[in-house]
């Protein structure tokens, strides 16, 4: 690697960094890990999965970009129109990553970007692929174009293990072919390749990380582990697709964010890194949740399988371990116990997410697979 390939990222070195999707699950946890050492601009359009309460202990203001309506939920924060970007430790801007004019204003201020903004739920992509293509692919394209016109701003793109597709045996390495099988994974795979294309075609300084399934605090209740926890709390069945034998690789969000930070701060231009976790079947995860909560595993109910349900995701993270010395710290059993405790202690956080819109989504999606109707709490 030549010296030109290494772009040092200096904490608190004048300019802030931009984190797109910073009010989401991984984004808000990443901000917590970085906030003591970096000034941060968080850009989030606050779709249903972006939650101001994820950041309400770190800032008390949401800056509303021109042309955007106030958020449905404000997390108890004040709302101010965005005129000039302030020099605060954390600046929370409500706006979209596909807003070129807004990006132009923000990019003048920043020294680096961690790009997390995306629609991420496979089930919703099977109901309506459009938002995933607009956010995950088109949004990434517009961000890349804004960077290209603004100058050499390092971009770390957060992708997903789902772009590799299912793997019955072995583990996927960074140079393996991509084989996405659902609209979400296709949009992410296209964005992943587009980022690398802008590096090769236009010389943009980029890196790509491909994490396995994350879990932990602040994850939206539509996702597998928090949905199981909340369903158990509410006395609902714990629904599993098919026979529950599908395998996922799980990493606690704290470990994933440590890996992202390590990669960001040890920049290697054009490189790709997998971030792997512990492999476990969906059925075993549900059984562990029942055991930790002390409830009867007979609460688990098997329903129809999801279309294009990949059997197994598995990543080879040898490159990350060898290049940067990264190792996970949180075992899945310990992290799951901590996560369950967090959701039990933050009922008010997830209760407001279980609204009529969310209930309608649950009824439509799970109804297609033979589940019983959901009741509002």
CATH code of the domain containing 19? 3.40.50.720
Under DSSP, is residue 139 helix (H, G, I), strand (E, B) or coil?
Answer: helix
Residue-level pLDDT at 261: 98
Q: Is residue 192 part of a domain?
A: yes
N-terminal to C-terminal alpha carbon distance within the chain: 56
Residue-level pLDDT at 376: 46
CA distance 273 to 350: 32
| Non-local CB neighbours of 201 within 8 Å, separated by 6+ positions | none
**DSSP per residue, 257-295:** HHHHHHHHHS--TT-EEEE--EEEEHHHHHHHHHHHHT-
Q: Is residue 160 part of a domain?
A: yes
Residue-level pLDDT at 103: 98
Residue-level pLDDT at 374: 66
Q: Is residue 301 part of a domain?
A: no
Q: Is residue 62 part of a domain?
A: yes
Positive or negative torsion for Cα 220, 306, 299, 244: negative
| Tokens standing for residue 85 | 């970007």
Are the beta carbons of 302 and 246 closer than 8 angstroms?
no
Q: Is residue 376 part of a domain?
A: no
Under DSSP, is residue 316 helix (H, G, I), strand (E, B) or coil?
Answer: coil
Q: Is residue 214 part of a domain?
A: yes
pTM over 0.85: yes
Q: Is residue 295 part of a domain?
A: no
- Give the domain extent around 269: 3-218+250-277+309-330
Regions in the chain scoring below 50 on pLDDT:
1-4, 12, 376-377
Under DSSP, is residue 90 helix (H, G, I), strand (E, B) or coil?
Answer: strand
What are the DSSP E strand ranges found in the chain? 17-20, 40-44, 61-64, 78-81, 90-94, 112-115, 155-158, 206-211, 213-215, 238-241, 247-252, 272-275, 278-281, 300-303
| Residues annotated catalytic, as ranges | 161-162, 184
Q: Is residue 351 part of a domain?
A: no
Could you count the other beta carbons within 10 Å of the beta carbon of residue 322? 9
Pairing of strands 17-20, 247-252: unpaired
Residue-level pLDDT at 9: 55
The count of structural domains within the chain is 1
CA distance 84 to 355: 35
Each residue's pLDDT tens digit, 292-309: 999 999 999 999 999 999
């Amino acid at each position: 690697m030549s010296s030109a390939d290494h772009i040092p990222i200096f904490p608190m070195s004048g300019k802030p960094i931009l984190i797109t999707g910073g009010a989401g699950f991984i984004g808000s946890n990443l901000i917590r890990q970085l906030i003591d050492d970096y000034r941060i601009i968080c850009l989030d359009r606050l779709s249903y999965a972006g939650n101001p309460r994820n950041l309400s202990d770190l800032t008390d203001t949401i800056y509303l970009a021109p042309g955007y309506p106030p958020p449905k939920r404000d997390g108890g924060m004040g709302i101010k129109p965005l005129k000039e970007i302030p020099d605060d430790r954390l600046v929370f801007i409500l706006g979209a990553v596909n807003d070129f004019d807004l990006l132009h204003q923000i990019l003048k201020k920043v020294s680096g970007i961690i790009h997390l903004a995306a629609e991420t739920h496979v089930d919703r992509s099977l109901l309506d692929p459009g938002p995933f293509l607009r956010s995950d692919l088109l949004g990434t394209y517009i961000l890349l174009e804004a960077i290209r016109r603004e100058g050499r701003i390092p971009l770390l793109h957060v992708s997903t293990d789902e772009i590799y597709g299912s793997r019955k045996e072995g583990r996927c390495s960074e140079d393996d072919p991509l084989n996405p099988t659902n609209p979400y994974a296709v949009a992410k795979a296209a964005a992943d390749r587009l980022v690398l294309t802008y590096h090769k075609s236009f010389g943009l300084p980029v890196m790509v990380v491909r994490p396995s399934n994350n879990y932990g605090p602040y994850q939206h209740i539509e996702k597998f582990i928090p949905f199981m926890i909340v369903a158990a709390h509410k006395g609902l069945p714990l629904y599993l697709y098919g026979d529950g034998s599908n395998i996922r690789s799980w990493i606690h969000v704290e470990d994933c964010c440590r890996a992202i930070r390590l990669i960001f701060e040890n920049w290697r231009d054009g490189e790709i890194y997998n971030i792997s976790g512990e492999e476990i079947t969906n059925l075993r995860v549900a059984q562990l949740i029942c055991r930790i909560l002390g409830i009867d595993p007979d609460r688990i109910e098997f329903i129809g399988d999801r279309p294009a349900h990949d059997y197994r995701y598995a990543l080879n993270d040898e490159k990350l371990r060898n290049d940067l010395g990264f190792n996970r710290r949180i075992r899945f059993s310990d992290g799951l116990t901590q996560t369950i405790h967090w959701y039990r202690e933050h009922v008010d956080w997830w209760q407001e997410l279980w609204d009529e819109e969310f209930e309608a989504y649950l009824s439509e999606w799970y109804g297609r697979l033979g589940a019983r109707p959901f009741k509002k709490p």
